[in-house]
Amino acid sequence: MSISTLSEKAAEFKVYKAAAGSGKTYTLAKEFIALAISERYHFRHILAVTFTNKATQEMKDRMLLFMHEIAQGRQEEMCKDIAQNYLGLPEKEVKQRCAEELKNILHAYSQFRVTTIDSFFQEVVRAFAKDLGLHGDARIELDQASVMENVVERLMNKLGRDAELTSWMVAFAEEKLEHNERWDVRDGLQRFASQLLSEEFKVFEEALRQQVKEEDKIKSFRDVLQKIVGNFENRLDSIGKKAMGLIEQHGLSLEAFPYKAASFASFFVKIQEERKDYKAGSRVLAAQDEPSKWMKKKNDPNEAAITAIFEPVNALLKEAVSIVQEDYGRYFICKMVRSQVYYIGLFARILEELQAYREEQNMMLISDTSDFLKKIIYNGAGEDQDFEDSPIPPYIYERVGSKYAHFLIDEFQDTSGFQWKNFRPLITNALAEGHTSLVVGDVKQSIYRWRNGDWRLLLNQIYSDIQNPRPTDCLLDTNWRSYQNIIEFNNALFQEAPVLLADFLRQGKGDLSAEGIAFVEEKADDIEKAYEGVAQRVSPGKLAHEVKGFVESHFINLENSRSSTEFKEKALEKLPSLLEHYFQNGYRPKDISFLVRTKSEGQEVAARLLAYGQDSGQEDLFRVVSSESLYIGEASSVQLLLASMRWLVKQEDPQAIVQLVYAYQQVFQPEIDQHACFVADVEDPLFPQAVKEACHSFLKLPLFELAEQLIDLLGICKAEEGIGNVEIAYVQAFLDAVMEFSQGEYDDLNAFLEWWDKTGARKAIRIPDSLDAMQIMTIHKSKGLEFRIVVVPFCNWDMDHSATKAPTLWASADQAPLNALERVPVRYTKDLAQSPFWEDYLEEWVKIHFDNLNILYVATTRAEEGLLTLSPQSKGEKISNAADLLKMSLQRFGEEAQWEMGEEGDIYRRGTIGSAEIKDKKGKQERILKKLSFFDWRNDRLKISRQSEILNQDFLETEEKVNYGVLVHDILSRIRTMDQVEDALSMARMEGEIDAEQEAQLKKQIDVLMKNTLVASWFAPGPIIKTEVPVLPKEGKAVRLDRVVLSEDSATIVDYKTGLEKSQDIRQVQSYMYMMRDMGYKKVKGYLLYLNDGRTKEVFIKKAKDDGQMSLF
């Protein structure tokens, strides 16, 4: 029976505008709880989606935590809000419902639907694969980069055998060289191929694919372009030759004219050269019809000759200028498109290979799912039509929509156009049925356009797409993250910066057409609109706090104002002294995070700080960690494992031998002469003989077991002889990578090594959050995170695309002959602004500037207490990079007293650095394993299939009452002897199953158990010990024995119990004892061990029962 529900209120479509630090997750959790407790089991009808697995887990944890706290009488403010503003119920009733619904969720956890958008669409595709015409066993590939690498490799293998493809590849390489880009064809082609997976490309993919199929379509298109280009060049070449012929016939040269080689007459030479220059400069224009501009001075000795040629050459000059002024624009764009036509051919070949690869591998890419579903939903409807226009109702979505009544979409500014098209019918249907849905986002934090994120959806489109009911804007305008000075700084900065940028774009429109000017005006208005209401309030707690926070922006003087190399060097020189000032005020390394634009910048910062720490004897203070720079393969221990594996598959390869010898000595004897390693062979004492002796048997092992045996054989992780605990985390991460690969289609060493080189080598180790070290990460990775002090060491990224990294635009035009194809590839350049492709260029021009403004916003709003930026000095003439925008904005709102001018540069300060409060959190200390332990299961009598039932247990808080008996059960199932307890606890802690406080409590509880001599005997070394032993009786219903101690013909069974003593406990152990007796063990003993209080109870059996032959697996 339904209880008082939200359905009594009219359905709403809420649009939460959630700025940085405004409590977005809190708000989402509150909305979810209000919906979930409106009816019993109503959580089953709510779908919440976000963009990353990490964000998904955080959202789940917070939802459950808040429900638990409301049920326990905490979270009073949220409880009151839900009671009064959502449900109209007494607070007591809200608490009761939270307690009840929390239990319901835990009992039906699989129906607690908080997931990523991609995962949801994958589920829809999988669930309805048959309906959608897909093979039932088709897989969805997440690693698109690896797929495109394979596709490109297949193309490369055809070079030399396919003349057309080879010519296109040569043109591709030549174009890269012409623009000073890397000539590596593979790398460039992979980047190009990745564009084909974008939604922007998929919009016109099919139309372009069909045009490419038309015979000679591309060739005839190129011929037309070549004709236009050739005609323009030939006409001017002819004029240039005629003019220079006349000049030379009269005994003249360029030296006869004013400015000599730089004279107007040089124009006739330039239009004939191989690298033609058709720019008609001021001297050329001024020389038309003006003979005085042709003479050097009065009484010029060449006056007679010049006068004689003036009339015919002047006519040629005017004709050339006229041609350039009238036709150069058309010539330029046709020449550019002609030079890029090979892209279309490559496009067609890549799509062919990709489709063949999909079919061979029986898979679809993750990027295909949104497009695939969109085509199903809008079955037969045009791209610009509503889904209601589809002639065939999308019955698949009707089935999905009947399950979910409420949709909660997080990070909506990063939602793609296709994703929104797929969600829109579900939300529209839910609203029509009276169910509330919502989206949460912040246009200012839209920085993932390269992942198809479209901020225009949140800014404008959602309001036109959802009409009944109209969206309700909800502004979250309190910043709960940052202290007062940080908030006030960002308020001022981002009230000025968007206006400055928008004005810069308006002023930079130059000689645009009226349409182009209007286009830029509209887009500039959008930038200002996106930042409307940017000012945030300081939270009451932070407002009352004595700490106010601080901001420092350094603008460094340079000899070469635009030298990025000089700026970075000076910024890196400046960093250590600034950091030491923070340390002197009580801040710890872990309080500081560096945000950079690229991974290479992060590596530069890490290298400089580590070197400074070593040189100054402050290694502990200048320790840095970066999830992006600490690749697994960088560890010497992992390099040794990989070298061993490579030698196993290529034992005669001299390079593999040298690599193994070198890697082995780097781990165990790094001081040895490296030259000795490079001349070693397999008989050399430096070669690891244990590997040579075991090579034949190792090659027969499954991949994961091979990796384990290599680690054990080489002694890599044995504290007494190997690397100790320094690199053990790398080895664990490597084993995880091996396991990940092994669970795929192949379990082969050769295939693994190939996969490692392409994919695995990019994997990085995860560092414990509590490690006292400065973090380094990209600004993109930092989104959603917060740090006590944020340092932006290189706040000077370009606002526009650099010339060497200019993207290829797939542009359209409405002028012949460029409109012969749906889209044509053109290189992004400012010259496109006056071309038929002006709209595509200006769209990208505005978007890239907005992207980089948003990146600045994300970077500066991560800070809690302190913000430090370092930028090159800006002249404030134009906004070419983030430093210019920052300096110009600060000058508009910064008071004179906040500026400090000096020889090294200018410094803007807001607030002062105070003594740091200690913010260490209880239970955050990480323990590191001293060694990894392996055992040879092949020599054991019983094969064990272990599966802990506690691994997925979630904990709401450490203070919550936890069933320690269950946890003890899990730890005991992992160990054979008492000396393994500490390692098992550490492993559980590192895997996130328990925290530090639980680890200590469990250690005490297990120590108490082991004081019982009987219990201790079950964990003593010597006998054969099996844990979690699966046994299959005759009737086929498998049971699992907690612990079995075997010696010759005797067996002792120990069954752990975590609850109160029950009568069936004895009967259960008796049945186990009978099974063991029937397996041939003559002496069988049985015990119950009650883990909560440590009691033991022996169990007896009177006679054997014929239950049939048992089997183990």
In a domain, 974, yes or no: yes
Residue 665 Ramachandran class (φ > 0 left, ψ -120 to 50 alpha, else beta): alpha
Mean pLDDT, range 216-221, rounded to an integer? 84
Contacts of 741 (CB under 8 A, 6+ apart): 703, 751, 752, 755, 756, 760
User: Residue 107: exposed, middle, or buried by beta-carbon count in 10 A (0-12, 13-18, 19+)?
Assistant: exposed
Q: Is the pLDDT of residue 395 over 70?
A: no
965 against 521, higher pLDDT: 521
| pLDDT for 631 | 76
Contact 638, 734 (CB under 8 A): yes
At residue 897, does pLDDT exceed 80?
Answer: no
Number of alpha carbons in the 13 Å side-chain half-sphere of residue 865: 21
Residue-level pLDDT at 429: 87
Q: Which residue has the tokens 């964000």?
A: 55
Amino acid 768: pLDDT:
61
pLDDT for 451 beyond 70: yes
Other CB atoms closer than 10 Å to residue 441's CB: what's the count?
A: 25
Q: Is the dihedral of CA 725, 728, 730, 733 positive or negative?
A: negative
Question: Total domain count for the chain?
Answer: 4
Q: For residue 411, what is the DSSP state? A: S
Among 293-302, 384-393, 450-459, the range scoring the smallest mean pLDDT is: 384-393
- H or E element that contains 471: none
Do 97 and 209 lie in a common domain?
A: no
Both 347 and 245 in one domain: the answer is yes
Q: Quick check: 1109 pLDDT over 60?
A: no
pLDDT at 797 over 80: yes
d(CA 42, CA 657): 63
Confidence (pLDDT) at 842? 96
* pLDDT value, residue 782: 93
pLDDT surpassing 90 at residue 737: no
Q: Is residue 316 part of a domain?
A: yes
pLDDT greater than 50 at residue 26: yes
Instruction: Indicate if 254 and 204 belong to the same structural domain.
Output: yes
Q: What is the pLDDT of residue 582?
A: 96
- Tell me what pLDDT residue 273 has: 82
| 503 exposure class (CB count in 10 Å sphere: 0-12, 13-18, 19+) | middle
Question: What tens digit of pLDDT does each residue of 755-768 get?
Answer: 888 778 777 776 66
Q: Are residues 126 and 202 in the same domain?
A: no
Phi, psi of 1040 (to 5 degrees): -125, 120
From 473, 490, 493, 468, select the one nearest 481 (Cα to Cα). 490
DSSP state of 84: I
Going by C-alpha positions, the residue among 542, 552, 549, 553 that lies closest to residue 485 is 549
Q: What pLDDT, on a 0 to 100 scale, did the predictor assign at position 360? A: 83
Clarify whether residues 129 and 144 are in a common domain: no
Q: Which residue has the higher pLDDT, 196 or 2?
A: 196
Q: What is the mean pLDDT of residues 269-295?
A: 87
Residue 441: the pLDDT is: 96
What is the pLDDT confidence band of residue 1070, given thresholds at 50, 70 and 90?
confident
Q: What is the CATH number of the domain that holds 1019?
A: 3.90.320.10
- Residue 40 tokens read as 């019993």
pLDDT > 80? residue 663: yes
- Is residue 834 within 8 A of residue 328, CB to CB? The reply is no
At residue 936, does pLDDT exceed 60? Answer: no
pLDDT at 674: 66
Instruction: Give the pair of three-digit tokens for residue 655.
Output: 């390079």
Q: Does residue 924 sit within a domain?
A: no
Instruction: Answer for the pair 350, 196: CB distance below 8 angstroms, yes or no.
Output: yes
What CATH number has the domain bearing residue 390? 3.40.50.300
pLDDT single digits (tens) 826-882: 989 998 998 999 999 999 999 999 999 999 999 999 999 999 999 999 877 789 999
23 annotated to a ligand binding site: yes
The predicted structure's pLDDT at residue 386: 52
Q: Does the pLDDT value for residue 608 go beyond 80?
A: yes
SS3 795: coil
* Residue bearing the bigger pLDDT, 451 or 85: 85
Task: Please indicate if the annotation marks 21 as binding a ligand.
Answer: yes
Q: Does 280 lie in the same domain as 351?
A: yes
Q: Which of 221, 367, 216 is nearest to 824 (CA)?
A: 221
* Mean pLDDT for all residues in the chain: 84
Instruction: Mark whether 357 and 382 lie in a shared domain.
Output: no
Which pLDDT band, with edges at 50, 70 and 90, does 136 fall under? Answer: low
Q: Is the pLDDT of residue 683 over 60?
A: yes
Task: Answer yes or no: is 20 a known binding residue.
Answer: yes
The Cα–Cα gap between 227 and 235 comes to: 12
In a domain, 487, yes or no: no
Same-domain status, 63 and 154 = no
pLDDT tens digits, residue range 187-197?
777 877 888 88
Give pLDDT, residue 149: 84
Among 469, 477, 479, 461, which Cα is nearest to 412's?
Answer: 461
413 contacts 446 by C-beta, under 8 angstroms = yes
Distance (Å, whole) CA 438 – CA 410: 9
Which alpha helices (DSSP H) does 954-1061 contain, by range? 964-974, 981-990, 996-1010, 1013-1017
Q: So what's the pLDDT on residue 1031?
A: 72
Q: Is residue 774 part of a domain?
A: no
What pLDDT is recorded for position 248?
93
pLDDT at residue number 957: 36
| Per-residue confidence (pLDDT) for residue 1003, from 0 to 100 | 87
Domain termination site, one of 459, 476, 493: 476
User: 459: exposed, middle or buried (C-beta count within 10 Å: 0-12, 13-18, 19+)?
Assistant: middle
Q: Would the pLDDT of 236 be above 90?
A: yes
> Do 1041 and 996 sit in the same domain of this protein?
yes
For residues 1064-1070, average pLDDT: 86
| Contact between 1021 and 977 (Cβ < 8 Å) | yes
* Domain final residue, candidates 705, 739, 762: 762
Both tokens of residue 555?
A: 């603008």
**What's the domain range around 245?**
139-361
| Distance from C-alpha of 397 to C-alpha of 415, rounded to nearest angstrom | 19
pLDDT in tens, 621-658: 999 987 655 678 878 888 889 988 998 888 888 888 88
pLDDT for position 131: 62
**Does the annotation place 25 within a ligand binding site?**
yes
DSSP bridge pairs for 1050 = 1047, 1083
pLDDT band of 1040, cuts 50, 70, 90: confident
**Beta strand pairing status for 363-365 and 46-50?**
unpaired
Classify residue 318 by its DSSP letter.
H
Residues 6 or more apart from 873 whose CB is under 8 A from it?
A: 555, 556, 557, 558, 561, 883, 887, 905, 906
Q: How far apart are CA 914 and CA 549, in angstroms?
A: 8
| Among 476, 496, 519, residue at a domain's last position | 476
Q: CA-CA distance, 599 to 594, in Å (whole number)? A: 12
513 occurs within a structural domain: no
Please give the single-letter amino acid code of residue 594: F
Per-residue pLDDT tens digits for 86-134: 999 999 999 999 999 999 998 888 889 999 998 888 888 776 666 666 6
User: What is the pLDDT, as a whole number, of residue 931?
Assistant: 54
Q: For residue 274, tell me if it sits in a domain.
A: yes
Helices (H), 362-458: 366-377, 395-401, 417-432, 456
Same domain (yes/no): 321, 386: no
Please indicate, yes or no, if residue 991 is contained in any of the structural domains. yes
Residue 319: band (very low, low, confident or very high) from pLDDT cuts 50, 70, 90: very high
Q: Quick one: which of 526, 500, 523, 501 has its CA closest to 512? A: 523
Task: Specify whether 706 is located in the same domain as 742.
Answer: yes
Closest among 884, 858, 866 to 796, alpha carbons compared: 884
CA separation, residue 913 to residues 86, 116, 329, 577, 740 (Å): 43, 40, 57, 14, 47
79 with 91, same domain?
A: yes
